[in-house]
Chains A and B, each alone.
Chain A
Amino acid sequence: MIAFGLAAAGVAAHAGALARFTVDYGQLPLNGLAPSLSAVAFIIGIGLVATVGLGEARRVGIVLVPVVIMMEAVAVSLGIEPASELLDFQGAWFAFHVTLAFAGLGGLAVAFASGVLYLVQLHELNTKRMGRLFQFTPPLAALDRLGRAGLVAGFITFSLGLALGWLWTISFRQSFEQSDPKILWAIVCWFIFVVALGVRAGGGSKERRSALASVIGFSLIIVSYLGLRLLSSQGGFFL
Chain B
Amino acid sequence: MSPVSIVGVSHLTAPVEIRERFAFASGEAEAALGALRTQSEVQEAVLLSTCNRTELYVCPAGSERVREAAERVLSEKAGEVVGGTSQYLYRHDGEASVRHLYRVAGGLESLVLGEAEIQGQVKDAYELAGGSPGTPRLAGPILHRLFQSALSVGGRIRSTTPIGKGAASVASVAVGLARKIFGGLEGKQVMILGAGATAELVVGALARDGIRGLVVSNRTYERAHVLASRLSGRAVRFDEMPFELAKTDILIASTAAPHPLVTRDGFRQARAGSSGGPILILDLAIPRDVEPEVSSEANVFLYNVDHLHEIMDDNLRKRRTSLPEAEAIVDEFARDFLQWYGVRGVVPVIRSLRGRWDEVRRGELEKLLKGLSHLSSDDRSLVETFSKQLVNKLLHDPTKRLRQGSDNGRGVEFIEAVRYLHDLDTVEPDPSEESVPVDEEGVETMEMDVPRANDE
Contacts and interface: CB of A to CB of B under 8 A. Distances in A.
A56 B180 CA distance: 10
Nearest to A57: B183
A130 B311 contact: yes
A139 B180 contact: yes
A121 B298 contact: no
Interface string A132-159: 0011011111100000000000000000
B166 A204 contact: no
A206 interface: yes
A131 B310 CA distance: 12
A125 B181 contact: yes
Given A139-B183, A141-B182, A203-B276, A130 B176 contact: yes
A21 B307 CA distance: 57
Interface in A191-210: 203-207
A204 B179 contact: no
A204 B167 contact: no
Contacts of B181: 125, 139-141
* Interface of chain B, main secondary structure: helix
B299 A130 contact: no
A42 B421 CA distance: 80
Contact of A139 (B165, B179, B276, B314): B179
A125 B177 contact: yes
Nearest to A141: B183
A123 interface: no
A129 interface: yes
Contacts of B301: 125-126
Interface string B269-287: 0000000101000000000
Interface string B160-176: 00000111000001001
B298 A203 contact: yes
Interface residues of A, number: 21
Nearest to B178: A139
Contact of A205 (B179, B180, B298, B315): B298
A26 B244 CA distance: 65
Nearest to B306: A128
A128 B303 contact: yes
A128 B310 contact: yes
A134 B180 contact: yes
Contacts of A138: 183
A86 B47 CA distance: 84
Nearest to A205: B298
Nearest to A142: B183
A131 B180 CA distance: 12
Nearest to B280: A125
Contacts of B314: 129-131
B279 to A, nearest CB: 12
B299 A207 contact: yes
Nearest to B271: A203
Given A139-B180, A140-B180, A204 B307 contact: no
Contacts of A126: 301
A130 B298 contact: no
B111 to A, nearest CB: 20
Contacts of A205: 298-299
Contacts of A129: 311, 314
Contacts of B298: 203-205
A121 B180 CA distance: 8
Contacts of B310: 128
A140 B315 contact: no
Count chain B CB atoms within 10 A of each CB in A121, A130, A139, A141 and give the residue with the most.
A130
Contact of B167 (A56, A130, A139, A203): A130
A125 B314 CA distance: 15
B299 A204 contact: yes
A204 B176 CA distance: 24
A56 B299 CA distance: 21
A137 to B, nearest CB: 8
Contacts of A140: 180-183, 278
Interface string A46-90: 000000000010000000000000000000000000000000000
Contacts of B303: 128
A130 B315 contact: yes
Given A125-B177, A204-B276, A204-B298, A130 B166 contact: yes
Interface string B180-222: 1111000000000000000000000000000000000000000
Contacts of A56: 183
B303 to A, nearest CB: 6
A56 B307 CA distance: 25
Interface string B299-321: 10101000100110011000000
A205 B173 CA distance: 24
Nearest to B276: A203
Contacts of A206: 276
A203 B310 CA distance: 32
7 contacts: A129-B311, A130-B166, A139-B180, A140-B182, A141-B181, A141-B183, A203-B298
Interface of A: 56, 121, 125-126, 128-131, 134-135, 137-142, 203-207
Interface of B: 165-167, 173, 176-177, 179-183, 276, 278, 298-299, 301, 303, 307, 310-311, 314-315
CB-CB nearest 7 A-B residue pairs: A204-B298, A139-B183, A141-B183, A203-B276, A205-B298, A128-B307, A142-B183
Given A134-B180, A135-B166, 18 more contacts: A56-B183, A125-B181, A128-B303, A128-B311, A129-B311, A129-B314, A130-B176, A130-B314, A131-B314, A135-B165, A137-B180, A139-B182, A140-B180, A141-B278, A142-B183, A205-B298, A205-B299, A207-B299
